[in-house]
Amino acid sequence: MNAPPGVSRPETRLTDSQIRSIVIGLMAAMLLAALDQTIVATAMPTIGRELGDADNLPWVVTAYLLASTVVTPLYGKFSDIHGRRISLLIAITTFMVGSLACALAPTMLALAAARALQGFGGGGLISLAQTIIGDIMSPKERARYQVLIASVFVLSSLAGPLLGGFMAEHLHWSSIFWINLPIGIAALAMTNNKLKLLPRHERRHRLDYLGAVLLIGATVTLLLALSWAGIRYAWTSEVILSLLICSAVGWTLFVLRLMYAREPLIPLTVLSDRVVYSATLAACFAMGTFIGLTIYVPIYLEGVIGYTASESGVALIPLMVGTVTGATLSGRSMTYFKHYKRVPLAAMLISVGACACLAIFVGRLSRGELEGLLLLISLGLGTILPLATITIQNTVPLHQLGTATASMNFFRSLGGALIVAAFGSILLGGVSAGGHHDAASIIKGNDAAHLAAIFRNVFMAADAGLLLALLFLAILEERPLMDRRRQVQEAGLEGQMPHPVME
């Protein structure tokens, strides 16, 4: 029976056992998306050979990136309107269907199309999981689960490349997609019934379809330009310039839509909040710099230091471990300290200094010194990620939790694409400026001194990204962390929460 308008039904407080069960299921859902981003990379050469179409191989990554990025804010808004449970079930099911299509793909184009379908599901998995965690526990309570959340990304970062290479070599490349099915089934089984217990905060709104179309168009054209520029087409080519112009027009129209639409896709009240925009931008530059380093540091290790591929993988472990350590320190400090920014600020200052040392002494560091600097850099980056999510969820109204969390993830992904493209431009531009026409031979280490000089600029750009993350972290307003679950109950009993859409 529906509650009278303007009155919310009292919420039943979830037990710790129920919360743990939901969190474990959500971790399985997050593992689907996180593992898929790393397991494909090492299998790509095998896929290109067996499908006989290496020219279109980049679309295996690009199609997923485009699809997952553009749908992230749509999942957030949809979950605010229709509920978290149905949104997460749609995301998991779509991801599994896409994985099945990938495993059965007979051609490279079919695989790219299937990867796009997979991305339409994957784009909602991480942001919805973070949103649901924000629904069921207070910002302070989340600190207890921060290690578990961070461990998902470490597991995917370390196990993904190893599993991808092993499966492609000893089983079949399609097994990297078959493995998603049992994980997805487990995620569905562990979350389906338990998610019925979630508190309901959604309101009866309309999805801004025009705003969604404008956002998708602006994002797709921008990411296509960044994916093709300097690789398939020159930066000054008509194709790239046309894509950039179309993207600029699309973003302009999208901003105008946000300003004048009755119910915009992303409410300006959310984006204009100081905590939301400063935390989002801090996470954007932090995650973008981290992704850029994970992609280009292996090239430095192999081309300048002379590591093998396997040694390069081992050398990246400090970069992953530091992120988890930083995330754990940040999450714990938010529980115990009123001024919870102090630990991340101190860690980010160390990261900025470490990255500066990496740029100054490029090519002259011992293995221990190099890995120590990577550890310090990732330590600071890790502190920002939980801080951004928790402070944003602590700020926005409960009925906008999904929209705000998804918006943060969207801009974080977009920032990653932009920074990776910037690093790539510095690398390829440096090769061309040195009079070399064979970039592959330089990257493989045929001119280690020249490549080291190029990477000095790459690491300086990374340091600039860290400085921007530090800047937005510094202006982030520290607001007291709420006991979200207690306040939901009290508001529900007092009739102050918005009327939910009943199941």
Nearest-angstrom CA–CA distance, 441 and 322: 32
Among residues 264, 295, 312, which one ends one of the domains? Answer: 264
Same domain, 199 and 240: no
Nearest-angstrom CA–CA distance, 413 and 292: 12
Of 26, 127, 19, whose CA–CA distance to 71 is shortest? 127
Nearest-angstrom CA–CA distance, 428 and 447: 14
Copy the structure tokens of residue 258. Answer: 């946000």
Nearest-angstrom CA–CA distance, 263 and 140: 32
Same domain, 434 and 453: yes
**Domain for residue 359, yes or no?**
yes
- Model pLDDT, residue 5: 39
Domain range for 255 is: 208-264
Same domain, 198 and 56: yes
pTM of structure: 0.72
Q: How many domains does the chain have?
A: 2
Q: Report mean pLDDT in 10-residue bins for the chain, 503 residues.
A: 40 65 80 76 70 68 76 78 82 91 87 88 81 71 64 71 72 84 84 68 65 83 78 82 92 88 74 82 87 79 74 75 81 77 90 92 84 90 84 75 75 77 75 56 63 86 92 86 52 35 29
- DSSP, residue by residue, 83-99: -HHHHHHHHHHHHHHHH
The per-residue pLDDT for range 103-128, each reduced to its tens digit, is 888 888 888 889 889 988 888 887 78
Q: Using an 8 Å Cβ cutoff, are 40 and 53 in contact?
A: no
**Domain for residue 11, yes or no?**
no
Question: Who's near 235: CB < 8 A, 6+ residues apart?
Answer: 229, 425
- DSSP, residue by residue, 47-63: HHHHHT-GGGTTHHHHH
Question: Who's near 240: CB < 8 A, 6+ residues apart?
Answer: 225, 228, 229, 233, 234
Same domain, 331 and 231: no
Same domain, 346 and 470: yes
Copy the structure tokens of residue 128. Answer: 């919805």
Nearest-angstrom CA–CA distance, 46 and 421: 25
- Model pLDDT, residue 147: 62
